[in-house]
Amino acid sequence: PGHMDENKADGGHRPEPPPEPLPSGSRRFSGLSEEELAELADKSEETAKEKKEREAAERKQKLKEYGGSVSLCKLLSLADPLELCMLAIAIIGAIGHGAAQPLVCLSFGNFVDALSTAQLSTVDLYSYIDKISGIAIEFSLIAVGVMVAGTIQGIGFPWFAEKQLRKMRLIYLDATLHRDVSWYDMHDCGAFATEMADDLARYEEGFGNLLGASVMS
């Protein structure tokens, strides 16, 4: 009877339960229109090839915004004569490092020929030993040359790249500070440090490792 009295007091209607909370994904997209939801669906369904093409177009647009691509001479314009000399020495070291592989193949071919044509008689034994000793000396000299050339290559290119990065950081910061105010409205200023670090790291990788590997090849 007590419950019946309460129902009669409030007009016979019970309070409706509160709506269930939306899931996290639904809550995130609840304020978007149908066009925006369709655009998000298209982006989620893009293939790897389309993603690669889109990223290439974005990089091209970004490159155009910063003045376009530059030549190799422009990239080396910040280097002083000492740094250019070190770069030339590193290139020579990379060439010597790459030339060691065919030299090893030639020496190994001579070694195989000496083994196959050897006549182990008393008369030819000493000449055979001299020939094998000469080939062993060739291997030793090639090993020393590879060690020296590899050391020059491994030190020269990273040293050159690091010297250029020290100058580029200042130029990069100065160019950014002298941008128009509208440029800062279109870009996230908080991501400036990350963007600069990524661009300079790409330059360091190109002149530090990839250039040496390409010359060595």
**Which DSSP string corresponds to 63-98?**
HHHTT----HHHHGGG--HHHHHHHHHHHHHHHHHH
pTM > 0.85: yes or no: no
pLDDT tens-place values along the chain, 217 residues long: 444 444 444 555 555 555 554 444 444 445 566 666 666 666 556 667 777 777 777 777 766 666 666 777 877 888 889 989 999 999 999 999 999 889 989 888 888 887 777 655 555 677 778 888 888 899 999 999 999 999 999 999 999 988 988 888 888 788 777 777 776 777 676 677 777 788 788 888 888 888 888 888 8
Residue 38: both structure tokens together: 């369709």
Instruction: Please name the amino acid found at residue 217.
Output: S
The answer to whether 106 and 139 are in contact (CB under 8 A) is no
Contacts of 61 by beta carbon, 8 Å cutoff, 6+ apart:
none
The answer to whether 212 and 90 are in contact (CB under 8 A) is yes
Compute the distance between CA of residue 15 and CA of residue 140 in angstroms, rounded to an integer: 94
